[in-house]
Amino acid sequence: MSRASLDNPQYYINREASWLAFNRRVLEEAQDESNPLLERLKFLSITASNLDEFFEVRVAGLVQQIEDGYTEADLDGFTLLEEREVVSQATHEFVDEQYSCWNDQLLPLLTENGIRVLGIDELDARARAFVDDYCQRELDLLLTPVTIDPAHPFPRVINKALCVAFLLRRRRRSSLTYTGVVTVPRALPRLVRLPSDSTDDFIFLADLVVYHASRMYHGYDIVSSAAFRVTRNSNLYLAEEESRNLLESVRTELHNRRKGDAVRMEIDADADPEIVERLRTNFELEPWQVFPVNGPVNLSRLFNIYEQTQHPELKFKPYVPRELRLTAKSQDLFEELRRHDVLLHHPFDSYDAVVSFIEAASKDPNVLSIKQTLYRTSEHSLIVPALIEAAAKKEVTAVVELKARFDEDSNIRWARDLEDAGVQVFHGLVGLKTHCKLSLLTRHDGDGVTRQYAHLGTGNYNANTARIYTDLSLLTADPAITNAAHNVFSFLTAYAEHATYDPLFVAPVNMAEHILSLIAREAEHARHGRPAHIIAKMNALLDKNVVMALYRASQAGVKIDLIVRGICSLRPGVRGVSDNIRVCSIVGRFLEHSRIYYFENAGEEEVYLGSADWMPRNLYERVEVIFPVKDELLRERVKREILDAYLADNRKARLLRADGTYERVWQAKGKRKLPAGVASFSAQDFLIAVAEGKQAPDAIPAASMRKTRRTAVRKER
């Protein structure tokens, strides 16, 4: 089949539809009765947070493009208007499913387990007395009631703020109705805990605002009320080339983001139609952008219940990550790295080793300099204070990405703190986000040799997310890798382009070229009858050039296994195009975040790790690094323990079908159970057991299970 034929839009899945399918898989975890109840509640809250960001970024961009008159179709053939219709229908259906999950499944089960979310009319005398006191002591002092009239324009409602609208009638002018609006300060909890000796009781803050409204609107009768929430465009629009100070430009634009155009309104399902129409008109929304909800207008706040209730029996069983242990011959981590590379798989391996690597460097007088990239880090980061401490004694350079979406505020604060301490702070390259995960130390060792040591990772320098995201870290003193990392830093700080970054792949310089070359090499092996197999694990697959290369490799006979957590535009199982490609997605206890790329290479296996997904933004619009795993034992671990485990998963894995839908393994051909003789297997549970020493790393189910899965996919075609 010719290259031109691979341009057929039928061979590509719409990006937005694919993302919505991912969020539906997260919702399935909230609906899954095999998950602990409070974990199901957390999954539901995550779907709401995900949907917020989808509207703030993707839908906002779509609406903006339509308003600007863009008409060009995407690679899947959808026009922008067609894509908007897909988004509208799918998101409304999804929101209905979210609230069905809350009202019909989770809320009754929470009540059965002594966790109650009550309405005002359900409060006993003790709880009502608490509410009255809370309204007077906390609520009344912070609320500002507004009545809309010529002298009082509609208040500026900030992004995702909880608000309550009222339809009011003056007692002296009963024929007129007014709109009242109360914006609830973010300082107040959205779920207020009530006093109780035997149960965990909560009430929604919006209910308290409505309950308290008569005391705020003296002289009015309250005809009706409705809680609502507006989502706004949160894209940053920066003219970096014209900016004299990127930090100040980002800070200014962040302020503007809170006032971006509205793209969605959530409102109580039983809201008076007059309130809905007045609000819709004010926010200049089309009817499809209004979402009536049968419950709290912000489901993400349900996470507060998870945090504020103990009930360990309703949560995942805790586990202890495996700590890095030095060999008996090594006195410290630096000596260990001179002997061999260290590979860590988080959260199964503790992230403390990465933090210790940087903290030790800050205190070690033999360390001469530290270079560090920061994309997202935790509010109480131990790494940033270590860099600040080190700056008093040695050269410290930090490349802080100010445009890391939704982390800009914290990154600005860290950048200023680092600068004040004497750290040389850079903000990367104009027009490119710095997304690579690199830490590079220069140390004068005891043997008189000055060496460099590096940490390269697939995830952010964030100890909090390292407990819930799966990521990989490589600690190494390999001169080829550390020299290349040094060149990457000079590229970031001086835009100094080097002739080679080998053995690293660096975006946007040469990463796409290298990836396409590796895929083409596997295709060539297959054509000549040599072993050819690609396994790629990533968050998203969207780049058309890569997808077409994979299609050509499939046509050449390469076996391709893709483990793609989220968006996947590649359509597997298309006869003559992608017969040899299988795509699965794993959504479970941990967010799958690691990027792993395996090439069988005619028996000379190669494994690469890195920060980049196979998406245009990663390959062409960011500074990214993919690095090889050179140590044979570590390559074996990545392939046999990690990748094989994910390929064997039949509990949390969903298979992507040619029509763009996903199915659990045992649901193929309508089956609701695993085939006889095949045990249930979760990759994440297996990796926890391995880390705890309860399971051997090679105890993954036999290849026959994976054969069963592949057969099931073929039967679906």
Each residue's pLDDT tens digit, 99-139: 999 999 999 999 999 999 999 999 999 999 999 999 999 99
The CATH T-level fold of domain 506-716 is: Endonuclease; Chain A (3.30.870)
255 as an active site residue: the answer is no
pLDDT computed for residue 175 by the predictor: 76
Give every CB contact of residue 656 below 8 A, 6+ residues apart in sequence.
Answer: 564, 568, 572, 583, 584, 585, 662
pLDDT computed for residue 708 by the predictor: 38
pLDDT computed for residue 405 by the predictor: 53
pLDDT computed for residue 415 by the predictor: 78
Q: Residues spanned by CATH 3.30.870.10 within the chain?
A: 333-503, 506-716
- Cβ proximity of 169 and 208 under 8 Å: no
Q: Which of these is catalytic: 346, 435, 525, 593?
A: 435
pLDDT computed for residue 680 by the predictor: 87
Those residues of the chain that have pLDDT short of 50 are: 1-4, 237-244, 246, 250, 254-258, 404, 406, 669, 703-717
Half-sphere exposure of 405 (CA within 13 A, CB side): 10
pLDDT computed for residue 699 by the predictor: 86
CA distance 553 to 66: 36
Q: Which class is domain 7-314?
A: alpha beta
List, for residues 420-435, the tens digit of each pLDDT value: 899 998 887 878 889 9
pLDDT computed for residue 700 by the predictor: 87
pLDDT computed for residue 339 by the predictor: 95
**Full DSSP string of 2-58:** -TGGGG-GGGB--HHHHHHHHHHHHHHHHH-TTS-HHHHHHHHHHHHHHHHHIIIII
Q: Which long-range contacts (C-beta less than 8 Å, at least 24 apart) are formed by 82-89?
A: 83/14, 83/16, 84/288, 86/14, 86/16, 86/17, 87/16, 87/20, 87/59, 87/62, 88/288
pLDDT computed for residue 155 by the predictor: 87
Look up residue 103 and give its two tokens.
Answer: 């009202």
pLDDT computed for residue 240 by the predictor: 44
Look up the CATH number of domain 333-503. 3.30.870.10
- Cβ proximity of 19 and 57 under 8 Å: no
CA distance 597 to 595: 7
